[in-house]
Copies of this chain bind each other. A is one copy, B any other.
Amino acid sequence: MAKPETVRFAIMGCAHIARKVARAIALAPNATLCAVASRSLQKAQTFAAQNALPDTVALYGSYQELLDDPTVDAVYLPLPTSLHVRWAVAAAARRKHVLLEKPAALDAAELELILEACESNGVQFMDGSMWLHHPRTSHMKQLLSLSHSGSIGNIQFIHSTSTMQTRAGFLESNIRVKAELDGLGALGDLAWYCIGASLWAKGYQLPATSFLSHTSMDLAICGSNGSLHVRDFIIPYQEHVASFDFTFGAKFVDLHIGWNVKPEEVHVANVLPQEALMVQEFASLVATGPDNKWPQITRKTQLVVDAVNKSLDLGCKPVSL
């Protein structure tokens, strides 16, 4: 089937993420993969074989050769961040459109060089934040944009986290912890999404803080092998049943296009409301003689409250306990 107005993409660099994007280029109705380049021809050939790329895809042993190919309309660059400014500018100078893996650059000054190169050469620029293109994202945006009384109101608090458990050896050898290749580390990798999500939620207004928000009571606990989430931990939505959910041992499936499990939801029924259970527990301790568990819980909570207060007084400096 002939694709209408098909853009011919080339991939510069055979990073792990390039496998997912090669598949995405094949799936997109207006795009086709025409070339792949790596630092050696052998690496490009291995990538082509591993991903069963068609013979029509040209393979190059250097990025420059790829940029010299006049059949290439656009390049996808999953190179280490420190190489972005060099190769994105070079690609734009050869009138190639630039799809650049995040983080876009080591800093805003470098990014300006890339954006200026794209603009002056009349080519499209986009970074590789895929989640912005999911229809769920625009569905959420539509809901957030409502202004009547049934809406979210003014957005006043945004929380976003992204964490991952690294494999053995990651902290010694992964590109994200090599300052000379990806100088931003976790800030450019996971935090790029969290920062992007906060900007997205506020329509790309640069951030300012506020402490007036609608009722929320979120608890998220992440461990080395899973996570647990509860949204109504202080006052359950309903009086006689409450739920939470958890995911243990979740992994991305091949190509990172989904997860092997979804969170499991657990419902816990209670005959008495939690405040009556509190009174019951208190009264039974009165009957049996005082315990030390509950005073200790309060003591530790208060110690941390004090430490937070002290830290605030010190201009948010760390305080030891």
A192 close to B305 (CB less than 8 A): yes
Task: Compute how far the CA of A145 lies from the CA of B272 in the bound complex, rounded to whole angstroms.
Answer: 25
Q: A236: which B residues are within 8 A, CB to CB?
A: 134, 136, 258
Q: Among residues 139 to 153 in chain A, which have CB atoms less than 8 Å away from a CB atom of chain B?
A: 139-140, 143-144, 149-153
* Residue in B118, B165, B213 whose beta carbon sits within 8 Å of that of A163 in the complex: B213
A279 close to B216 (CB less than 8 A): no
A51 at the interface (CB under 8 A from B): no
CB<8 Å pairs between A and B, sample of 7: A28-B279, A103-B302, A130-B275, A133-B278, A184-B309, A192-B305, A257-B275
A233 close to B131 (CB less than 8 A): yes
Q: Among residues 26 to 84 in chain A, which have CB atoms less than 8 Å away from a CB atom of chain B?
A: 27-31, 73-74
A214 close to B206 (CB less than 8 A): no
Q: Flag A197-226 by CB within 8 Å of B: 1 or 0 each.
A: 111110010110001111111111111111
Q: A149: which B residues are within 8 A, CB to CB?
A: 225, 249
Shortest A43–chain B CB gap in Å is: 22
Task: Compute how far the CA of A212 lies from the CA of B224 in the bound complex, rounded to whole angstroms.
Answer: 7
- Copies in the assembly, this chain: 2
Q: A173: which B residues are within 8 A, CB to CB?
A: none
Q: Among residues 222 to 275 in chain A, which have CB atoms less than 8 Å away from a CB atom of chain B?
A: 222-239, 242-244, 246, 248-252, 256-259, 262-263, 266, 268-270, 272-275
* Residue in B104, B161, B223, B224 whose beta carbon sits within 8 Å of that of A159 in the complex: B161
Q: A99: which B residues are within 8 A, CB to CB?
A: 278-279, 282
Task: Compute how far the CA of A297 lies from the CA of B300 in the bound complex, rounded to whole angstroms.
Answer: 43
* Residue in B31, B195, B276 whose beta carbon sits within 8 Å of that of A283 in the complex: B31
Instruction: State whether A221 and B234 are in contact (beta carbons under 8 Å apart), knowing that A125-B295, A276-B28 are contacts in the complex.
Output: no
A278 close to B24 (CB less than 8 A): yes
Shortest A66–chain B CB gap in Å is: 17
Residue of chain B at shortest CB distance from A262:
B237
Task: Compute how far the CA of A280 lies from the CA of B191 in the bound complex, rounded to whole angstroms.
Answer: 25
A1 at the interface (CB under 8 A from B): no
Q: A165: which B residues are within 8 A, CB to CB?
A: 153, 212-215
* Residue in B150, B215, B248, B286 whose beta carbon sits within 8 Å of that of A164 in the complex: B215
